[in-house]
A and B are shown apart, each in its own frame.
Chain A
Amino acid sequence: MAIDMEQFKATYIEESLEGLDNMESNLLNLAPGSKDEDAINTIFRAAHSIKGGGATFGFADISQFTHVVETLLDQIRNGQREITQQAIDLFLQSVDCLREMLAAAQNNSQADEMRIADLKSQLDALLASDGASSPLNEAVAVAAVESTADPQAKTSEWKIHFKPFPNMLATGNDVVRMFRELEELGEFQATVNFADLPALSDMGVEDSYLGWEASLKGECTLEQIKDIFVWVEDECELEITATTVNGIKEAQAAVTDENSGKCADQHHETPIATTTSSAPIAKPSVQPDNKIKDKTERRSGAESSSIRVDIEKIDSLINMVGELVITQSMLSQFGEDFALENLEKLRDGLGQLERNTRELQESVMRIRMIPISFAFNRFPRMIHDLCNKFGKKVQLKLSGESTELDKTVMEKIGDPLVHLVRNAMDHGIETPEVRVAAGKPHTGTLHLNAFHQGGNIVIEISDDGAGINAEKILKKAIERGLVEEGAELPQAKIYDLLFQPGFSTADKITDVSGRGVGMDVVRKNIQALGGTVDVQSTLGKGSTFTVRLPLTLAILDGQLVRVGDHTYIIPLVSIVESLQVHKKNVNAIAGKAELYKLRDEYLPIIRLYEAFNISPDSTSLENGLLVVVEGEGQKAGLLVDDLLAQQQVVIKSLETNFRRVDGLSGATILGDGTVALILDVAGVIRVSQGRFNSHHDSINADGVAA
């Protein structure tokens, strides 16, 4: 029977990675000395399944490594050991290490063995240390002395007492398979024990009543045997005893359901175990640089290959397709014998079809959308690590985590965000002493916020740190010859310098940031996605980096408007209202800037035909319609000739083959195949203001040809 093991391995890796994420978030919530049983149990369970799966799928290194982690966790779970900060940090490092090992397994490459061995010996050291403070400690110590067996030591003969619980077979575990594996380890003989066999009438057909006493002759370790039983540990009585021992003294392990982990784990408390298990150090790691590079490349390839979709989304999709089928069959019935009196029904049917199609399209698009928490989740851990590193106190605040964005955008925004957060941690937030001296709270706050605005997703990274010193930047820029001496730059331009390649304001270079590479890459990456990044900062109060990204692939609810022969689309979200112009509400400042009095507000009027240099039906305000729009906090009235339909449009990028155009956020293809441009309301307001403020600037821009 050919089973594609690769498939299972992939699933195992995926599940394990999820388990690791789970472990990580729980570990971060765990305070030293806490007794949060739920959290510890979750962490333990995740480690346990990673270990078990690792053994099954032949990732011996993963299962061995996790075993040590599990042992420690088990002691904590049983209250034999206090949760110390050291342990938490070590576990977090183990999570990283396991991630690396899994990635290596995925790419069939080698993980960094030095690191694994190093971490493992640290874990072993912790295990061996007298960290336990509970009364159980003594018992453990005694037990440890009693069974100082080394699971790695090879013994030539083993006795195995194996008695499955009645329901073991129901979980899909097959004794025959396990015995076959044991046979591979050496000469294997088993005797069946019928003692518990009930009378035929009392027998459950799916239950197991047998037990086995087996002997195994061959060079193998306790670990190897236990690996075979790893899935059934909790569902059987298992006792493995070495009868002949090579080298050390007699080993005995009694693994039963109630003390499964406890006893087994004590084997690691001997120093011998430490030395043997760190053996892999000896293996040479060839050209680590190439290897790592290779790894990252391949990993990025694997990332985009699959997507996890909420089952609800799939269900709604199925519902919708069902409805579509019903509508289709209804319509085809009309087609068979059509009579004119059915026209009305046909129209209804077509309307329904349209609705179904639209909903279907929405749902399909929604599948690609994942909440931004996927990108945010890595930050608590990062902040935790960076706090330790810099000796800073930072509280992370996340909001808008459920804001959805396209998966491809999400994958590409991760690294720039990490960079911005690191920068905020390193340069932004000060050390507690400095903060207190500046009259700020001891603990800094880093706020990550995401929300939708128009056709964009906006991600804000704000800190309440030192802020950006504009003068210092200017000085540095002049030093580097980026700016001429004595030049006066507006603040925004100065902040813009931060994104220049090779520019850094850090007084000292740390390994986190300050080398000046990065911010330019951040901006480049964001721009590659068609987004922008802005900085706002107040010296001494903090800085905010605002990343705006388009929701590519997203659909937009748009209002079609007509100006002359041209059709434009205004995103419905940015429209406040539409109204007819009453002459008495129009005021002009200096005969030029027109304002419209709407209730108690004065809105600038933007004549779209003027902003876009096209010819309208009429230049008179009264003949047109005023669409009141809002973009980036500014309101304005757009003068158009007519309002057309409202419809959903698929955003197509202008940048793919052309470039970004001020005032436009993209284009779309209408039902008749023609292209219509989508207005970027904030951009239109900017364009018209620019036209206004410096009239000859815009003339120049128009005059540039060829």
Chain B
Amino acid sequence: MELAQQLEDNIQIGAQADDNSQQLLTFILAGEEYGVDILRVQEIKGWDSVTPIPNTPKHILGVINLRGTIVPIIDLRLRFNLETIPYGPTTVVIMLKVESEDRSRTMGIVVDGVSDVYNLAQDAMKPPPDFGSVISVDFVKGLATVGEQMVIVLEIDHMLNSGELAMVEKAQTR
């Protein structure tokens, strides 16, 4: 209940925010707080079973029926090669609009739970440090500090358009 109240407050603040700032929806994944541009969020829904698609990587859980369209669901823990935990009552699916080259697609990501909505001034976001080859920073847009907390802002277009999710298929060999 408290969270909902907080969210509401933040949204109110968001309404007054000036054009320079950006609103982030943050979610929790393995104890870390990640953020995505709130304008990309289509809806948040509880976890429900999916239809798996054969011969796809593990992190692509499958597809669901979102009001008549078929939408793929990606487990972000698996995507980031994190340890999996059983889905609980806070587990949610965030439906995101992903822009690829010529069109936009809808995809869902499974996360541990939604956290908050923040207003973020444009200059408050710092570029990610170079981790070398340990972690790909392509998926990270920047780092933001909210209070004492660090929020990792994700580059969702890049994250959800790469590898197996890419629009462009590998040249078909027949």
| Chain A complexes with chain B | yes
Chain A neighbourhood of B169, CB < 8 A: 659-660
Q: Do residues B105 and A657 form an inter-chain contact, with CB atoms below 8 A?
A: yes
Contact of A566 among B52, B72, B105, B167 (CB under 8 A): B52
Residues of chain B from 72 to 128 with CB closer than 8 A to chain A in the complex: 72, 79-81, 105-107
CA distance A660 to B163 in the complex (A): 14
**Is A658 a contact of B70 with CB atoms below 8 Å?**
yes
Q: Are A673 and B65 in touch, CB under 8 angstroms?
A: yes
* Residue A556 lies at the interface, judged by CB distance under 8 Å to chain B: no
B132 within 8 A of A: no
With both chains docked as a complex, state the minimum distance between the C-beta of B159 and any C-beta of chain A, in angstroms. 10
For the complex, give the distance between the alpha carbons of A344 and B167 in Å. Answer: 52
Asked whether any CB of chain B lies closer than 8 Å to the CB of A208, the reply is no
Supposing A656-B69, A659-B169, A675-B63 touch, asked if A705 and B53 sit within 8 A by C-beta, the answer is no
Known: A566-B52, A663-B54, A675-B65. A706 touches B70 (CB 8 A): no
Q: Within 8 Å CB of A653, what residues of B?
A: 70
B70 CB to nearest chain A CB (Å): 5
Q: Which residues of B contact A663 (CB under 8 A)?
A: 54-55
Q: When chains A and B are docked, how far (Å) is the Cα of A214 from the Cα of B107?
A: 77
CA distance A193 to B165 in the complex (A): 85
Contacts of A492 in B (CB 8 A): 174
Taking CB as reference atom, which chain A residue is nearest B103? A656
Instruction: Name, among A492, A566, A658, A676, the residue most crowded by chain B CB atoms within 10 Å (CB to CB).
Output: A658
Known A667-B63, A674-B65, A705-B58; contact A657-B53, beta-carbon cutoff 8 A: no
A706-B79, A706-B81 given; A614·B70 CB < 8 A: no
When each residue 646-681 of chain A gets 1 if its CB lies under 8 Å from chain B and 0 otherwise, what string results? Answer: 000000111011111111100101000111110000
Residues of chain A within 8 A (CB-CB) of B80 are: 706
In the complex, chain B residues whose CB is within 8 Å of the CB of A701:
55
B21 at the interface (CB under 8 A from A): no
Q: Closest Cβ of chain B: how far from A690's Cβ, in Å?
A: 8
Q: Is B6 an interface residue (CB 8 A)?
A: no
Checking A496, A566, A662, A674 against B55 with a beta-carbon cut-off of 8 angstroms, the contacting residue is A662
- Known contacts A667-B63, A674-B49; A657/B69 CB under 8 A: yes
Against A, the Cβ 8 Å flags (1 = close, 0 = not) of B36-72 are 0000000000000111111111110011110011111
Residues of A with C-beta under 8 A to B171: 496
State whether the Cβ of B30 lies closer than 8 Å to any Cβ in chain A: no
> Chain B contacts of A660 at CB under 8 A?
169
B68 partner residues in chain A, CB cutoff 8 A:
652, 669
Residues of chain B within 8 A of A656, CB atoms compared: 69-70, 105
Task: State in angstroms the CA–CA spacing of A705 and B70 once bound together.
Answer: 23
Q: Is B55 a contact partner of A661 (Cβ separation < 8 A)?
A: yes
Q: How far is the CA of A705 from the CA of B63 in the complex (A)?
A: 18
Distance from B40 Cβ to chain A, minimum over Cβ atoms (Å):
14
Contacting pair A614 B57 (CB below 8 A)? no
Give chain B residues whose Cβ lies under 8 Å from the Cβ of A658: 53, 63, 70-72, 105, 107, 165
Contact, CB under 8 Å: B55 / A657: no
Residues on the A chain within 8 Å of B55, using CB: 612-613, 661-663, 687, 701-702
CB-based contact A706/B69 at 8 Å: no
Closest to A568 in B: B54
Q: Of A652, A661, A673, which one neighbours B53 at CB under 8 angstroms?
A: A661
A105 at the interface (CB under 8 A from B): no
B53 touching A677 by the CB < 8 A rule?
yes
In the assembled complex, how far is the CB of residue A590 from the closest CB belonging to chain B, in whole angstroms?
Answer: 24
Q: Are A654 and B63 in contact (CB under 8 A)?
A: yes
* B72 vs chain A, min Cβ distance (A): 4
Q: How far is the CB of A568 from chain B (nearest CB, A)?
A: 9
**Within 8 Å CB of A613, what residues of B?**
54-55
Residues of A within 8 A of B49 (CB): 674
Interface residue? B150 (CB, 8 A): no
Report the Cα distance A476→B157, complex, angstroms: 37
Most B CB atoms within 10 A — which of A613, A661, A705, A706? A706
In the complex, are the beta carbons of B106 and A657 less than 8 A apart?
yes
B123-174 with Cβ < 8 A to chain A: 163-167, 169, 171, 174
**A566, A657, A687: the one within 8 Å of B107 (CB):** A657
Q: A657-B69, A657-B107, A675-B64 are in contact. Are A664 and B163 (CB under 8 A)?
A: no
Chain A residues within an 8 Å CB radius of B106: 657
A118 to B163, CA, bound (A): 58
CA distance A676 to B70 in the complex (A): 10
A701 to B79, CA, bound (A): 16
- Name which residue of chain B comes closest to A679, CB basis: B54
B59:A706 contact, CB within 8 angstroms: yes
Q: Tell me, yes or no, whether A611 is within 8 Å of chain B by CB.
A: yes
Whether A675 pairs with B70 at a CB distance below 8 angstroms is: yes
Query: Chain A residue with minimal CB distance to B105?
Result: A657
Contacts of B51 in A (CB 8 A): 566, 667, 674-677
The answer to the question of A686 belonging to the interface, with a C-beta cut-off of 8 Å to chain B, is yes
Contact partner, B165, options A611, A612, A659, Cβ 8 Å:
A659
Chain B CB within 8 A of A704 CB: yes
* Given contact pairs A492-B174, A661-B55, A654 touches B70 in the complex (Cβ within 8 A): yes
CB-CB under 8 A from A652, the residues of chain B are 68-70
A496, chain B: closest CB distance, angstroms: 8
Instruction: Look across to chain B and name the residue whose beta carbon is closest to the beta carbon of A493.
Output: B173
0/1 interface trace, chain B 18-48, chain A, CB 8 Å (1 if under): 0000000000000000000000000000000
> Can you name the residue of chain A whose Cβ is closest to the Cβ of B164?
A704
List, in ascending order, chain A residues with CB within 8 A of B105's CB: 656-658
Tell me the smallest distance from the CB of A77 to a CB of chain B, in Å. Answer: 53
Q: Hey, which chain B residues are within 8 Å of A674, CB to CB?
A: 49, 51, 65
Shortest CB-to-CB span from B154 to chain A, Å, is 14
B161 to A: closest C-beta gap in Å: 10
Q: Which residue of A lies closest to B80 (CB)?
A: A706
Contacts of A664 in B (CB 8 A): 53-54
Inter-chain contact B63/A612, CB cutoff 8 Å: no
Nearest-neighbor residue (CB-CB) of B64 within chain A: A675
Report the minimum CB–CB distance from A543 to chain B (whole Å).
Answer: 17
Distance in Å: Cβ of A308 to nearest Cβ of chain B: 28
A614 to chain B, nearest CB (A): 7
Partner of B174, one of A654, A686, A702: A686
Which B residues touch A612, using CB under 8 A?
Answer: 54-55
With A657-B105, A657-B107, A674-B49 given, is the CB distance from A667 to B70 under 8 Å? yes
Chain A residue at minimum C-beta to C-beta distance from B81: A706
Measured between C-beta atoms, what is the minimum distance from B155 to chain A in Å? 15
Residues of B within 8 A of A702 (CB): 55, 57
The answer to whether B54 and A614 have CB atoms under 8 Å apart is yes
Looking at A496, A659, A704, which has the most chain B CB atoms within 10 Å of its CB?
Answer: A659
Given A675-B64, A706-B163, answer yes or no on A611-B70 (Cβ-Cβ < 8 Å).
no
Q: Enumerate 9 A-B pairs (CB-CB under 8 Å) in ascending A order.
A: A611-B54, A613-B54, A657-B72, A659-B165, A659-B166, A675-B62, A675-B65, A702-B57, A704-B163
Contacts A652-B68, A657-B69, A657-B71 given; 12 further ones with Cβ under 8 A? A496-B171, A612-B54, A614-B54, A653-B70, A657-B72, A658-B70, A661-B54, A667-B63, A667-B70, A673-B65, A676-B51, A704-B164
A residues near B (Cβ < 8 Å) are 492, 496, 566, 611-614, 652-654, 656-664, 667, 669, 673-677, 686-687, 701-702, 704-706
* Shortest 9 CB-CB contacts between residues of A and residues of B: A612-B54, A675-B51, A658-B72, A657-B105, A667-B70, A669-B65, A705-B57, A652-B70, A657-B106
